[in-house]
Amino acid sequence: MALGAGTVGSIAIATLSAPPALGAPVPLGTTVPAFTPSPAAGPPVRSHFIGHIGETFLATTDAGSTPLILADVLDLTHAAANDENRFSLVFTAPAGAERTAAIYTITHPVAPAASLYLSPIGDPELRELQALVNRPQ
Domains of the chain, by residue range, sit at 2-9+35-134
At 38 the pLDDT is 72
Which option is the CATH number for 2-9+35-134: 2.40.10, 2.40.50, 1.20.120, 3.30.420? 2.40.10
Check if the beta carbon of residue 67 is closer than 8 Å to that of residue 33.
yes
* Residue 38, strand partner residues: 112
Q: How far apart are the two ends of the chain, measured CA to CA in Å?
A: 11
Q: What is the mean pLDDT of the segment spanning 55-83?
A: 93
Q: Is the pLDDT of residue 16 over 70?
A: no
At 97 the pLDDT is 77
At 9 the pLDDT is 35
Q: Is the pLDDT of residue 99 over 50?
A: yes
CA angle centred on 101, ends 71 and 124, rounded to 5°: 55
Q: Is the pLDDT of residue 45 over 90?
A: yes
At 95 the pLDDT is 87
